[in-house]
Structure 1
């Protein structure tokens, strides 16, 4: 009896430790909600998946963004064809493909219309002829997506069916959708299981249909015209249904894979996160849900690890929805299989002590000591783990999303947490709206006055996004309209708010540790809600939209044809300089320039190894200021520094340098 109590106590300690290291239920909920809300009301039908979409933010976690192509539909039978949809329709054909893959044949009806089909996007060029029928090429479709959706000056790489950012943080995939649950996966609906997933969950999943991503079966003679059947939507729903204990076990297996197995070069990539997810689905389906409890997390994890070891030893891991596809068939050779078994066996014998050799969980024995997360540290910990997700969401916001967000907020937001996140994102989207409307500066014009007030109303809504971003855009808007004195009043207030208590978060670098003051202040606000804390403490770098009409005229070149990011503090000093410059207050603009250059030097010294847009734009602002006061020599030096660090020529530095000649 004592032994069982001791084991439960150790499991609870470990569970609480994992909640602090990987994320509590509340933190996971915030991460998920932020990304789900971000998908709502998008111009395109988009699904955010990947580890972060599932609520995990482990080292190396990426964001998978799947965009459903609304120009093409996939049907299972030509009997399902509906000419009213006015889209190119393709029918599934799995006769010559491996399980989980298909070819997509153009619906016969289209053959009579293909010469007259209005095709402004050039989709007909992606067709190939096979067996006297047109088939959609997955390889050509992927190349088409690159040419239509990615700027030529943005670095990317191909990763399976995805187009990945160079830093590996984002995977983008354009996919096709079949609205019905396909025949190959129908046995999954009624196969024997314990209690998970529930009939309600199964019904919800099957109503979502399936997706098709542009990649064929490796080694197939028809690889370039095959498409992989994707159950990403179903898998996301299943992960969301996990208890927190299940999710933590899933996270531990991912950590074990990335930090213990993959450190062996000859094993790296042999197993992948998708295999871990599949394994968790099978175990969850066969297990009593009652067992997934915090006081039983260690036995649960050990059972998962034992199952993984079994699957590797016998080379069997079936696809969860289409079991005919065995992921481990011919996956291993004799050498790597034995080495993998040895490592997994060693981990199993060590139990959770195997994580002493991992980067993420190595301090368990030191940090746990039976302690639980204190109430006092809750806000600080929540901010530290939640803000990177919120920053990621802000990167993907669009100006045309206000109505979509507002509609869902009014009709579907049922919890206080979701209402807070909706409000924050509506504020951010409102700032983008104000940034993308033309306001002709013609005094005395009623139309101008209406537009002016329309912009001002959106900027007012945007004040709630954080401590400074909304205020800065408002000050910039007033500067553009030559209300220099009012702009200076706001700038003075902004500079008073820029203290060490504020928590600055960059869009690009999201792993900054809080300083002691930043850790302490949220504790003093433990009774405040998330929105109040964000508005009081957080300073984001902020974005001006492409061809912005509220950015200072001196920076128009920097948003010509693209959006751009600025660090809040140096931008405030630059705006301060511009206002005093136009008011011909020499001593004040000289002091503002001195402060700007001081901040620039401090900022640039921190990021010389990996420069990012906010820092480079700060250098450019210094150059512009020097140019305005008639000091072209120092201005040139600033532009040369920025141009030298601008690897992909994404700033105005080179252009400004050329214009100084």
Structure 2
């Protein structure tokens, strides 16, 4: 190799390394991605172990589940009845006890590849039965009717999008909710995929994928004979297992294709070609390229080779009008979408990018500067060592944010609490990662808190003093235990328990301790932290120690459990809309509990606590109160003002809560309306 070609090779490696570093910044390092996946996995593992036969199972899918946290990453969830199962032939019915399982038979004899009809075989719920249509003396579940029957309308402005209910929250978070059916068996039409897996994925992953079966989402094929009745076979579980099997360079290549699609391919000016390609096509291309072993080495110095191979495959697919589904070859993902003039326009656009070579990446605002830096500074030193890309503090922020995102267990009663605790106990001996142990630790703290208040509520006002005393002692012990391995903010539950037990001075002593801890210079509150001071305070210590000493989050209240009597109306309002928990900013709860306790001890200090709460709610600029939780913050301020007799101020606060309720995160708008009506009644009676 001569000197000039060696320089070219070195320059290309530098370019690849620069793009790799940038993608680690946008997508995340392998450690960050692992944290996102592992915290969700342990959460789902707990939920599966406590799920009962008649429960609705919830599973996160899509890019967030895969480990992406890109700007405007959509949040996808699939839901299905745990007591309903699809089978491929009647012989599989022997695996089920039909007294407690509804069986559905897949009939794909008249459907295009990847689609099927679902024949109802055994009795079911009214909402499923009402979506059934008779055909050939059999009863089939219509996908279009089922979509209509099961729309959540969980957030205002939701719309039907393919098989999903879709929409946006605050114009930032896009969501897709799909009601589906589960199948424990691998589709016969995808059996050829098993034989293709020679080099990737390995046999253990293949066996795990097959064992987990598939799902059916309510959308028919536009060219099918029974479009309104057909269901699409979904390989969501298989896909996220495949994505998790990728090495980090492969995953970042997938991320680069997603970014390239959004920033370069999707032309906002051209309505004909815009949105023809989607992220799923990018994922499919990566799957095919990895399995066909076209790229000899996936590493940071080679990342643009992988990208270019995938891009050329996409170009070929668009030219031919055929994008083969990774699991069912005969299912052409382009069939009804990319054809005719739109296909020609898209091909010309992609071919124009292809002719530019890798310079087409200069059209991506996210990547451009990292390419030009290398081009203008060929001797630029680039470190592609991931360990040096992310600080200890940044890694911890990722971890605790993901834990907070996934701790949402809401047991409905004491029996449910015990089921959770038993499931957690059985998981303690499992081979878990350090991250998963911490996630399980926080889930345990959460369940102990729900259990403690549930137990306390059961024996309050029973008149059985001894039982009340024992229940109170056990509850207090559970809350102390939870605080010992939870966040600093978990101490707040002890204060709420003391208030509920009428031990006001004890509650205030806890709030004073919390306030001292919250003044620590190295405190991490959600994602806000001073990295230097945080590292000075707890750097090098275990994640568990850091969590107890330096991390705090907002307060989550399980809506099936009463923590503070004054918030019962809000919790019941949220439950009406299937909201299983309230999220309240920590500092709002702190001032609220202080106000409630001081009312029984010192009215002057109660007024001081109220004024502090009022300043916080009126003037906070998102530092302590997120926009998502302004509804409950104004509501709590109004409750306090009403308790002091300041009805005019209370009315204003409730009205502000109503305005914030347009977001409807906590779903307390019914409670706000009730409180406003009560104020009008009081005002009328006074006059």
How does the TM-score come out when normalised to structure 2? 0.85
Partner of 2:475: 455
Partner of 1:654: 673
Change (3 A) 1:622 1:298: same
Aligned-pair CA distance for 1:124:
3.1
Q: How many residue pairs were aligned?
A: 636
Give distance in 2, aligned partners of 1:412 and 1:140: 43
Q: Are residues 1:331 and 2:337 paired?
A: yes
Q: Are residues 1:421 and 2:439 paired?
A: yes
The answer as to whether partners of 2:555 and 2:589 remain within 8 angstroms in 1 is no
The answer as to whether partners of 1:378 and 1:523 remain within 8 angstroms in 2 is no
Partner of 1:322: 328
The answer as to whether partners of 2:110 and 2:225 remain within 8 angstroms in 1 is no
Q: Are residues 1:22 and 2:27 paired?
A: yes
Indicate the SS of the match to 1:212: strand
Matches within 5 A, 1:476-555: 476-499=496-519, 501-505=522-526, 514=528, 517-518=530-531, 520-522=533-535, 525-551=538-564, 553-555=565-567
Aligned-pair CA distance for 1:33:
0.7
Partner of 1:581: 599
Change (3 A) 1:525 1:47: same
Give distance in 2, aligned partners of 1:329 and 1:98: 11
User: Which whole-Å deviations, capped at 9, do the CAs of 1:100-133 have from their partners, x for residues lacking one?
Assistant: 00012234xx5xxxxxx5x554543332110111
Give distance in 1, aligned partners of 2:548 and 2:661: 32
Indicate the SS of the match to 2:343: helix
Give distance in 2, aligned partners of 1:545 and 1:572: 18
Change (3 A) 1:287 1:523: farther
User: Which whole-Å deviations, capped at 9, do the CAs of 1:451-505 have from their partners, x for residues lacking one?
Assistant: 3233323323332575443111211111011110110011011112223643333
Give distance in 2, aligned partners of 1:376 and 1:276: 27
Match of 2:109 among 70, 90, 95: 95
Partner of 1:283: 289
Match of 1:303 among 296, 309, 317: 309
Give distance in 2, aligned partners of 1:611 and 1:419: 31
Match of 2:615 among 598, 616, 623: 598
Change (3 A) 1:388 1:417: closer
Aligned-pair CA distance for 1:570:
1.9
Give distance in 1, aligned partners of 2:356 and 2:599: 68
Indicate the SS of the match to 1:64: strand
Aligned-pair CA distance for 1:190:
1.5
Give distance in 2, aligned partners of 1:196 and 1:430: 43
Change (3 A) 1:19 1:120: closer
Give distance in 2, aligned partners of 1:126 and 1:10: 55
Give distance in 1, aligned partners of 2:369 and 2:149: 48
Change (3 A) 1:388 1:418: closer
Partner of 2:203: 199
The answer as to whether partners of 2:522 and 2:536 remain within 8 angstroms in 1 is no
Aligned-pair CA distance for 1:156:
3.5
User: Which whole-Å deviations, capped at 9, do the CAs of 1:173-199 have from their partners, x for residues lacking one?
Assistant: 2322222222211112223x6511223
Q: Are residues 1:623 and 2:638 paired?
A: yes
Match of 1:248 among 239, 246, 252: 252
Give distance in 2, aligned partners of 1:607 and 1:586: 26
Aligned-pair CA distance for 1:244:
0.8
The answer as to whether partners of 2:180 and 2:217 remain within 8 angstroms in 1 is yes
Aligned-pair CA distance for 1:395:
4.0
| Structure 2: runs of 5 or more not aligned | 375-379, 576-580, 681-687
Partner of 2:85: 73
The answer as to whether partners of 1:623 and 1:634 remain within 8 angstroms in 2 is yes
Partner of 2:655: 640
Match of 2:406 among 390, 393, 415: 393
Partner of 1:161: 163
Aligned-pair CA distance for 1:74:
1.5
Give distance in 1, aligned partners of 2:454 and 2:569: 15
RMSD: 3.0
Give distance in 1, aligned partners of 2:12 and 2:274: 34
How does the TM-score come out when normalised to structure 1? 0.88
Moved more, 291-300 or 30-39: 291-300
Moved more, 493-502 or 249-258: 493-502
| Structure 1: runs of 5 or more not aligned | 111-116, 506-511
Indicate the SS of the match to 1:91: strand
Change (3 A) 1:565 1:605: closer
Indicate the SS of the match to 2:502: coil
User: Which whole-Å deviations, capped at 9, do the CAs of 1:27-64 have from their partners, x for residues lacking one?
Assistant: 11110011111211322544322111111111221232
Q: Are residues 1:378 and 2:391 paired?
A: yes
Moved more, 247-256 or 649-658: 649-658
Change (3 A) 1:124 1:627: closer
The answer as to whether partners of 2:410 and 2:560 remain within 8 angstroms in 1 is no
Partner of 1:312: 318
The answer as to whether partners of 1:632 and 1:660 remain within 8 angstroms in 2 is yes
Give distance in 2, aligned partners of 1:465 and 1:156: 39
Give distance in 2, aligned partners of 1:259 and 1:436: 51
Give distance in 2, aligned partners of 1:189 and 1:235: 14
The answer as to whether partners of 1:101 and 1:227 remain within 8 angstroms in 2 is yes
Indicate the SS of the match to 1:85: coil
The answer as to whether partners of 2:631 and 2:668 remain within 8 angstroms in 1 is no
The answer as to whether partners of 1:39 and 1:47 remain within 8 angstroms in 2 is yes
Indicate the SS of the match to 1:419: helix
The answer as to whether partners of 1:32 and 1:53 remain within 8 angstroms in 2 is yes
Partner of 1:564: 582
Partner of 2:492: 472
